[in-house]
Amino acid sequence: MDNIRYKKGINNLDKIDGKAGKMVIDSLRDISPETGQFIIEFAFGDIYERKILNLKQREMITLSSLLTQGDTHNQLIVHINGALNVGLTQNEIIEIFIQCIPYVGFPKVLNAISTAKEVFNSKK
Amino acid sequence: MDNIRYKKGINNLDKIDGKAGKMVIDSLRDISPETGQFIIEFAFGDIYERKILNLKQREMITLSSLLTQGDTHNQLIVHINGALNVGLTQNEIIEIFIQCIPYVGFPKVLNAISTAKEVFNSKK
Amino acid sequence: MDNIRYKKGINNLDKIDGKAGKMVIDSLRDISPETGQFIIEFAFGDIYERKILNLKQREMITLSSLLTQGDTHNQLIVHINGALNVGLTQNEIIEIFIQCIPYVGFPKVLNAISTAKEVFNSKK
Amino acid sequence: MDNIRYKKGINNLDKIDGKAGKMVIDSLRDISPETGQFIIEFAFGDIYERKILNLKQREMITLSSLLTQGDTHNQLIVHINGALNVGLTQNEIIEIFIQCIPYVGFPKVLNAISTAKEVFNSKK
Amino acid sequence: MDNIRYKKGINNLDKIDGKAGKMVIDSLRDISPETGQFIIEFAFGDIYERKILNLKQREMITLSSLLTQGDTHNQLIVHINGALNVGLTQNEIIEIFIQCIPYVGFPKVLNAISTAKEVFNSKK
Amino acid sequence: MDNIRYKKGINNLDKIDGKAGKMVIDSLRDISPETGQFIIEFAFGDIYERKILNLKQREMITLSSLLTQGDTHNQLIVHINGALNVGLTQNEIIEIFIQCIPYVGFPKVLNAISTAKEVFNSKK
């Protein structure tokens, strides 16, 4: 294991969505722990650690990418929570999805809005 | 034609990429002028006109979505130019692409970086 | 709101799938009512209102596009119902899906047939 | 080789786009002739031979599916030609693409319109 | 029906996943039996019957393709079972998914691993 | 830079496609050198270094994934070369593509075969 990258990754994951992120890593423990390690070291340790863009911007990009690729219900749940945790508002999250309409059409946007509704309602 | 939405759309298109946008609309004139009208009225008149997110954020989302969906070389050229026009730097544009690596893998990111290189070089 | 486009949209939506369409619009009311408005005004008011193709042809195209893009279970339910409402038969709907096999392979077609089965059974 | 299916396939391919189809099959001859055979026997012999939908409808579905999946420039050229050959007009072909806007967004539709322009211009 | 191709197909389907495959074919019986026939004759009779690659390699390719295209939960269940039946180990199946990370990113790989976990647990 | 992972990555890249891989890394040097570093350290240093599957199997999986995702002409060129370098034959490469037909349809397979033809011809 790569200790410095791993610690940076855990630290970034904690800022974004410590709880949901931890559940993903935990669910990988008995089937593919190295995949969990790659997520922490590479995605959160190497990429999220970089400068130039802040975490709010990184979550904005992540939500746009997840919405566009489709079949990402579980990942959208993690990152809608993550977006809220780093300071994006519910209105901003919905607006990110609306900005995608001209580029991907309504179906993918409706799927993402429906997932956001689920997450927002769970906070009430 | 819907004059108010059309004027708002042209105004937003001008801020983002007046020249390249105009070329797209012009190229549609003899084959599908209404598609050009829908792009101006709906995409740029209805969506880009909205508040909550600014044009820099909207272009950030657009680039993430275009990169993720693939087969969007021409649209990336328009919106990399657009991103520069609304104030994103070359470093920020590349960083948007790098943030997508964990979510879409390297091939789509390499395609987008290669298109950015083409656009950046044309500015020199 | 754009009254003429909105009324045309509601009118077209009623012909296609008034009940399911209304449920989609209703579900957006408290989270993103403007997305509902865009669906009515742009998708159903601007696009479905156009001549050259009739509603049966438009639903045929819509089903092919939804099947092909994947992750559109909810949208297929609305538009399989819509296709039946504008006069396509169950056999024609299945045949649309079969025509897609050479272009997208079996998995997406099996997903769409499975959704059609769900819709057809709910009519019995 | 399966003679009856092969002959039916060649017959259907001839009605749709004998010339372009033949070029595709020819280009496969020295690298993967069986793929050419599968296209003729399965796609054109089994699927296009079926009843319930006619060739105009089948090409309408095919164009919608090709537009939606993206990265299908060469296939769109074959089937825009095919659509014209079985009796769809240039206006109908563009309208098929416009009907896809709400479901896939503008980029894929602009790509398909640009390919149609290429094909239509080659006929002048 | 094409008896030789059909028998070859049933034979190959039996080797890969007789039980799950039969369930798919059965579920098509009352809604689109010809689609079931095409799966048996074309996919399993024509393609899987070919030489050059063995069934382990064919399932490896199939799993990579299903993971990459997304929205294939049901098909992954069939072919993770199929992969086990033709002799791939649980570790090899997970490793196929890990090899896809650099090419498609983490979300699709996490979806596939989660489906594998479901299948592997059902064997205990 | 992470010296051990980087050296492992360069070593694996050399085995697969030293020349083409080097060109990709070189082309990134002035626009996004860290992306080149991530490809070497993560894709080739972390993933390709793993056991359980050998390089022939890894290239088989990579080709299936690239074919399936589409818009990967440049990446297919690198990895068709890579597949040949680690010992897959031209016939095996084409057979990998044929195995994908039932899962993704003909268009993506025809695109990949056409790219293979380009690569194979360049070797003559």
The pLDDT tens digits for C56-68 are 999 999 999 999 9
Of the candidates E70, E84, E96, E86, which has an alpha carbon nearest to the alpha carbon of residue E120?
E84
Instruction: Report yes or no: C67 and C104 within 8 Å, Cβ to Cβ.
Output: yes
pLDDT on residue F1 = 58
Residue E35: strand, helix, or coil: helix
Test the E interface: residue of B97, B98, B100, B103 with most E CBs within 10 Å: B103
Of the candidates E8, E4, E24, E36, which has an alpha carbon nearest to the alpha carbon of residue E82?
E24
Residue D81: strand, helix, or coil: helix
Q: Domain map of chain C by residue range?
A: 1-52, 53-124
Which two three-digit tokens encode residue B22? 């105009």
Residue A70: its chain C contacts at CB < 8 A? Answer: 69-71
pLDDT on residue B18 = 74
Q: Which residues 47-106 on chain B approach chain A with CB closer than 8 angstroms?
A: 47, 50, 52-53, 57-58, 60-62, 64-69, 75, 91-92, 95-96, 98-104
Test the F interface: residue of E99, E101, E106 with most F CBs within 10 Å: E99
A111–chain E nearest CA distance, Å: 13
DSSP 3-state percent helix, strand, coil across chain C (nearest 5): 80, 0, 20
Residue D8: strand, helix, or coil: helix
> Whole-number mean pLDDT of chain F?
95
Closest-CA residue of chain A to B92: A52
Chain-chain contact of D32 with F101 (C-beta, under 8 angstroms): no
d(CA D120, CA A25): 54
Chain-chain contact of C110 with E35 (C-beta, under 8 angstroms): yes
Q: What is the mean pLDDT of residues D88-96?
A: 98
> Whole-number mean pLDDT of chain B?
95
pLDDT band, very low/low/confident/very high, at E1 (cuts 50, 70, 90):
low
Closest-CA residue of chain F to D77: F107
Burial (0-12, 13-18, 19+ Cβ within 10 Å), C82: buried
- Cα torsion D73, D74, D75, D80 to 10°: value is 80
Which two three-digit tokens encode residue D88? 């769809």
Residue matched to tokens 């390919």: D115
Q: What is the mean pLDDT of residues F68-76?
A: 97
Chain-chain contact of A70 with C70 (C-beta, under 8 angstroms): yes
B78–chain C nearest CA distance, Å: 24
Test the E interface: residue of B67, B104, B108, B109 with most E CBs within 10 Å: B104
By the CB < 8 Å criterion, does C28 face chain A? yes
Residue matched to tokens 């008034």: C18
Which member of D98, D107, D116 has the closest CB to residue B75? D107
In sequence order, the 6+-apart residues with CB closer than 8 A to the CB of D96 are C53, C61, D60, D63, D64, D67, D88
Q: What is the 3-state secondary structure (H, E, C) of chain B?
A: CCHHHHHHHHHHHHHHHHHHHHHHHHHHCCCCHHHHHHHHHHHHHHHCCCCCCCHHHHHHHHHHHHHHHCCCHHHHHHHHHHHHHCCCCHHHHHHHHHHHHHHHCHHHHHHHHHHHHHHHHHHC
Instruction: Report yes or no: A92 and A31 within 8 Å, Cβ to Cβ.
Output: no
Chain-chain contact of A70 with C71 (C-beta, under 8 angstroms): yes
pLDDT tens column, A49-94: 999 999 999 999 999 999 999 999 999 999 999 999 999 999 999 9
pLDDT tens column, F26-35: 999 999 999 9
Chains touching D, CB cut-off 8 Å, 3+ pairs = A, B, C, E, F
D121–chain B nearest CA distance, Å: 10
Q: What interface predicted TM-score (ipTM) does this complex get?
A: 0.96
Closest-CA residue of chain B to E107: B103
Question: Residue B71: left if φ>0, alpha if ψ -120 to 50, beta else—which one?
Answer: left
pLDDT on residue A17 = 84
Test the F interface: residue of E52, E55, E76 with most F CBs within 10 Å: E52
Residue type, E54: N
pLDDT block averages, 10 residues each, chain C of length 124: 88 89 91 97 97 98 98 97 97 98 98 98 92
pLDDT band, very low/low/confident/very high, at E55 (cuts 50, 70, 90):
very high
Rounded to 5 degrees, what angle do the CA atoms A75, A81, A83 make? 100
What is the C-alpha R_g of chain A?
15
pLDDT band, very low/low/confident/very high, at F21 (cuts 50, 70, 90):
confident
pLDDT band, very low/low/confident/very high, at F19 (cuts 50, 70, 90):
confident
Closest-CA residue of chain F to C98: F105
Model confidence at A27: pLDDT above 70? yes
Model confidence at E77: pLDDT above 70? yes
Of the candidates F96, B4, D103, E12, which has an alpha carbon nearest to the alpha carbon of residue C70?
D103
pLDDT tens column, B14-34: 999 878 888 889 999 999 999
pLDDT band, very low/low/confident/very high, at A124 (cuts 50, 70, 90):
confident
pLDDT on residue D1 = 57
Model confidence at F2: pLDDT above 70? no
By the CB < 8 Å criterion, does F31 face chain B? yes
> Whole-number mean pLDDT of chain A?
95
pLDDT tens column, D63-76: 999 999 999 999 99
Closest-CA residue of chain C to B42: C42
Which class is domain B53-124? mainly alpha
Model confidence at F54: pLDDT above 90? yes
Please, where are the H alpha helices in chain E?
A: 3-28, 33-38, 55-69, 73-85, 90-104, 106-123
pLDDT on residue D2 = 66
DSSP string, E49-69: T-SSS-HHHHHHHHHHHHHHH
